[in-house]
Amino acid sequence: MTATDARPTSAATTFTSLDPATGEIVGTHPIHDAAHVRAVVEGARHEAGWWRELGHDGRRTALTAWRKLLAARLDELAALMSRETGKPVGDALMEAALAVDHLAWASSNAEKVLRRRSVSAGLLMANQAASVEYRPLGVIGVIGPWNYPVFTPMGSIAYALAAGNAVVFKPSEYTPGVAEWLASRFLEAVGRPVFRVVTGFGATGAALCEAGVDKVAFTGSTATGKRVMAACAQTLTPVVIEAGGKDALLVDADADLDEAADAALWGACANAGQTCAGVERIYVHERVYDDFLARLVAQARELEARPGGQIGPITMPSQVDVIRRHVDDALARGGRAIVGGPVPEGARFVQPTVLVDVPEDSLAVQDETFGPTVTVTKVRDMDEAVEKANGTRYALGSTVFSKANGPAIAERLRAGMTAINGVISFAGIPTLPFGGIGDSGFGRIHGPDGLREFSYPHAIARQRFKAPIALTTFRRSAKQEEQLLKVVRGLYGRGAK
């Protein structure tokens, strides 16, 4: 059996996840239909009540128990991730470790971020005491991709649970085993299925959108994100969309070129380039272009995608065709491959590919490639680099290498996140929000924003004493209205022409 045989016939009730490097079966999983998904969501709603009543302290204790179990068995998890995605075990370990770090942050900071706090009532309403609290929404449906099958969905799952919600997770059809493993460890640690998994194909994900969840957190391609949003619109179910990217890395004339080349190569090729915030385009100041390219090329030639190597196979067979199309288009339009070249038919491993002289309007510059390929473009100065970096419909992450001007250049980039003199570092910092704009989606996971994303604000205004100028009554007099006018003019109108 090959990896492409994973899809069962329409009558099947189970499907298999496969090792993309060998085609071997890793596990067999149910294809859950709409009725099952609805029943799971109803069950989760029941658990959500118990979870909410536990309060912040109880949830912190439960999530800490889960975290400890995950940390203790991280190598087991990493091995399974490696089998289902083909990524090296070391990369899987790093991914899972970062997810555990996020879980730790979310569970220990949820109370501080979400609990009721007093806010100023303002001058006109000074007789009121105002406060706001962020409450759980109920049941969150999480739909995740295969490329980071732990780190990416956990950015929603951990924060949604810490905010007091139950979660129903539909993983990618390529990584169902990882999801079930996470949920089994949750049940083992917590004793109640507040976090549940449904498995299957796109139809199962679509069913989750229509199953009565209180919010959907979707991570995946922009095209599927639009379908998810359309389905959720039917029931006015809110959504978070974490979609694709076409991230740029900018190299200024004063950058540390060794560091920049190392970061660029890792950002482009780690996880075989299947990273939403991976580096897909590089813009280099003309003064250091040749020097930077020489270093990048020297390092890239040392890398090889192969079984057991630092770069694994392309997880999803159809993605190889997308990568091939992008490389072919670049070469047909005058681009040159300094490292790598056309992707052979039937390949499951794509070699690191460095493309130069690629026109800005080509597929390899404008569309998400999701492979270990990168374009390198010479620019006059950082103004041109910023303009080109901002020139796609995506806007997820970005990177700047500059000794003197990193923050100033970062300020001008249209992106949800920017790393300066490092790459993708923002994703591993639990206090920073993660997400994009434009075709990269909207809403945020991680950090305080990520906790609030899975809650709703409840505002309370409590009257402390009777207002000197009573406004919200039919007994309001003309004299009081005159007083109000004077107060507003005095407060806000002074100096007006």
Which positions are catalytic? 242, 276
Q: In angstroms, what is the minimal distance from the CB of 151 to ligand NDP?
A: 8
Of residues 247 and 252, the one with the C-beta less far from ligand NDP: 247
Least CB distance from residue 169 to ligand NDP, whole Å? 9
User: Which residues contact ligand NDP (rule: CB under 6 A)?
Assistant: 143-148, 152, 170, 172-173, 201-202, 205-206, 209, 219-221, 224, 227-228, 242-245, 276, 316, 368, 370, 396, 436
Give me the phi and psi of 442, to 5 degrees please.
-160, 165
To ligand NDP, the closest distance from the beta carbon of 488 in angstroms equals 45
Q: Which is nearer to ligand NDP, 276 or 330 (CB)?
A: 276
Q: Closer to ligand NDP at the Cβ: 6 or 409?
A: 6
Least distance (Å) from ligand NDP to the CB of residue 54?
A: 29
Q: Which is nearer to ligand NDP, 172 or 418 (CB)?
A: 172
Cβ 143 to ligand NDP shortest distance, Å: 5
DSSP-assigned beta bridge partners for residue 197 = 169
Question: Whose Cβ is closer to ligand NDP: residue 244's or residue 267's?
Answer: 244
Q: How far is the CB of 287 from ligand NDP (least distance, A)?
A: 33
Q: Do residues 207 and 33 touch, judged by C-beta distance below 8 A?
A: yes
The residue nearest ligand NDP at its CB is 205
Nearer to ligand NDP, 311 or 316 (CB): 316
